[in-house]
Chains A and B, each alone.
Chain A
Amino acid sequence: MKSIQELEKISSQVRRDIVRMVSRANSGHPGGSMSSADFLTALYFQVMDHNPQTWTREGHGQDVFILSAGHLTPVYYSILARAGYFPVADLGTFRKFGSPLQGHPSIRKGLNGITQASGSLGQGVSAAAGIAIGKKLDKEDKTVYVMCGDGESEEGQIWEAALFAAHHNLDNLVAMTDWNGQQIDGTTDSVAGNGDLQAKWEAFGWATIVADGHDMAAILDAFAKAKALRGKGKPIMILFKTDMGHGVDFMAGTCKWHGKAPSAEQCDAAMGQLTETLGDF
């Protein structure tokens, strides 16, 4: 069991990793990585039943995580490295030629911990639903987690998957939405008006939970509620209310940092706002 303070220390380091990785690569997606950093830290360091040493792509005997919003590799790789899936030093190779840390997740480069390719949006909930059925067929009492963005939820396939998972009573499936209200071209409401996502998921037959995605106690409470809802006949959606770019004042609350790299000077300024807790890569 990790304390809230310990989890907050990890997520602070994860945010440093995100900004430094994207700045060094001079490309990548810091905004959504920072908005999802707290709940993904909680997921990997407290909630999920997993073991980096015995992990396999098949996922037998462990919980599984799928990153549907594949552009969020900065947060994903940082957390995987900090959790022990591969050396933290490898984060310095992010987006470099020959690196297993591809711009979007790949299963072809031998990177430990990656279950499925993603990047083309809207597809991860379907894959997670397939894994959830596989676990049911194998009578494996494990949970499949999948994370998607709120902008990503404009993809029609998300709602095909929503209908499917509810119809098949996939109550071993826990999805998370990073509800930061931003996407590349502006706010989600100004771009596509995706509105009340909780009401939509409820209408599709899911059990839903809404939580503050930057309050570690609220995040842990939401995951505890999700675990309590497992096996009750419905798939579960946790909608985490977040801010894009959270943790650095000049990056927060705007779509401008969705897919933009901070300069060296901006990176230094950001480091002044994020505490180094576990040692930089």
Chain B
Amino acid sequence: MKQYTDSGKKDTRSGFGAGLLEAGKRNPNVVALTADLKGSLKMDAFADAFPERFIQCGIAEANMVGVAAGLAITGKVPFAGSFAEFITGRVYDQIRQEVAYGKTNVKLASSHAGITLGEDGATHQTMEDIALMRALPDMVVINPCDYNQTKAATIAAAEYDGPVYLRFGRPGVPNFTEPDAPFQIGKIYNMNEGKDVTIVATGHLVWEALQAAQVLENEGISAEVLDVATIKPLDEKALVASVLKTGAAVVAEEHNCAGGLGELVAGVLARTTPKPLEFINGGDRFGQTGTPAELMAAYGLDAAHIVAAAKAAIARK
């Protein structure tokens, strides 16, 4: 199978920070807003380079979303950043009216997504955000897999005209995609071609999926790995073509079962390609305190669980 090298663990939020700085250099209309989380969102470099284009909003996320919408109306390209829970669930109605229904060119920068932010526990761990953002008409939902892809996706989000939800995380995760590869919104990246099962993964679970594919290959099972970096709009053509070929699939995501990538994929396949399908997700649960590795194991989000799910899907063919 295709080999990927982890060039060293890096947090995807730093990929966002690097992408934001680059986007700011390319386009003077790019502005950034935060609700007292400049450091956590890695916005320092942007704020230092473009102090007049950095807007501190204080701990008031609802107002921040509205201010971002207003800036977008005047032609600016605002990135409004907070933790995933506080830039989705806390301000859902503001996003719905001011950004999605209002069709403003706002980029919602969502850090510390999922349970792997770790020790802060369940109040700060959202596994519902993809469902919320997916439900909004015209919202683009991007969940990149590593530092390099997050940087590229941030630049692509700045160049796209319309609302974007850009999801990334706090812990260091393997950095394995090509640096400075262009990012195409709405494209599934085929990371490894296979013929027995398709592993449909998003976010840093793409790395876990690749590890699982290696284990499966050692046992004589050929697994295709898809990186669904853009959850909405979904690249249905690439998904269906892969599952038609392999005849079974596993969907892996750091998100609850309700409304995530799993249900999205299931809906597409039910319409077009009904095949055995297994799910790797957080279930219908809240998070808890722990290290990222402890939590991924406890919630069944690691390579070992993907291997078992792949075998289960194949057995049902």
Q: Are B70 and A131 in contact (CB under 8 A)?
A: yes
Most buried by A among B31, B57, B63, B98: B63
Judged by a CB distance under 8 angstroms, whether A232 is at the interface is no
**Chain A min CB distance to B137 (Å):** 10
Q: Are A138 and B93 in contact (CB under 8 A)?
A: no
Q: Are B93 and A130 in contact (CB under 8 A)?
A: no
Q: Give Cα A133 to B67, complex, Å.
A: 9
Which chain A residues border B123 with CB–CB below 8 Å? none
Q: Are B94 and A157 in contact (CB under 8 A)?
A: yes
Judged by a CB distance under 8 angstroms, whether A190 is at the interface is no
What is the number of residues of chain B that contact chain A, defined by CB distance less than 8 Å? 32
Within 8 A of A (CB), among B88-136: 93-94, 96-98, 101-104
Which chain A residues border B68 with CB–CB below 8 Å? 130
Give the segment of B73-81, B236-244, B245-253 that binds chain A.
B73-81
Q: Are B58 and A127 in contact (CB under 8 A)?
A: no
Q: Are A134 and B73 in contact (CB under 8 A)?
A: yes
Q: Are B69 and A116 in contact (CB under 8 A)?
A: yes
Q: Give Cα A116 to B63, complex, Å.
A: 15
For chain A, the bracket of interface size reads 35 or more
Judged by DSSP, the binding face of B is helix
Which chain B residues border A58 with CB–CB below 8 Å? 73-75
Judged by DSSP, the binding face of A is helix
**Chain B min CB distance to A194 (Å):** 19
Q: Are B70 and A128 in contact (CB under 8 A)?
A: yes
Q: Are A130 and B73 in contact (CB under 8 A)?
A: yes
Nearest to A118 among chain B residues (CB) is B97
Give the segment of A89-97, A159-167, A269-277 that binds chain B.
A159-167
Nearest to A119 among chain B residues (CB) is B97
Within 8 A of B (CB), among A150-206: 156-157, 160-161, 163-164, 167-168
Q: Give Cα A118 to B68, complex, Å.
A: 15
Given A134-B74, A134-B76, also A120-B97 (CB < 8 A): yes
Nearest to A127 among chain B residues (CB) is B70
Q: Are A127 and B62 in contact (CB under 8 A)?
A: no
Judged by a CB distance under 8 angstroms, whether A20 is at the interface is no
Name A134's contact: one of B64, B70, B94 (CB within 8 Å): B70
Which chain B residues border A131 with CB–CB below 8 Å? 70-71, 73-74
Q: Are A138 and B74 in contact (CB under 8 A)?
A: yes
Judged by a CB distance under 8 angstroms, whether A208 is at the interface is no
Q: Give Cα A242 to B230, complex, Å.
A: 51
Encoded as 1 (CB less than 8 Å from any A CB) or 0, chain B from 259 to 284 comes to 00000000000000000000000000
5 smallest CB-CB distances across A and B, nearest first, come from: A130-B70, A126-B66, A134-B74, A160-B63, A160-B60
Give me 16 other A-B pairs in contact (C-beta within 8 A), A130-B71, A138-B75 excluded: A57-B73, A108-B101, A120-B96, A120-B97, A123-B98, A125-B66, A126-B98, A127-B67, A130-B69, A137-B74, A157-B66, A160-B60, A161-B63, A161-B66, A161-B67, A164-B60
| A interface residues (Cβ-Cβ under 8 A, vs B) | 57-60, 106-108, 115-120, 122-135, 137-138, 156-157, 160-161, 163-164, 167-168
What are 28 sample pairs from A and B whose C-beta atoms fall under 8 A apart?
A: A57-B73, A58-B75, A59-B74, A107-B102, A108-B103, A115-B73, A116-B69, A116-B98, A116-B102, A117-B101, A118-B97, A123-B62, A123-B66, A123-B97, A126-B63, A127-B66, A128-B70, A129-B67, A130-B72, A130-B74, A133-B71, A134-B75, A137-B52, A138-B75, A157-B62, A157-B66, A160-B60, A167-B58
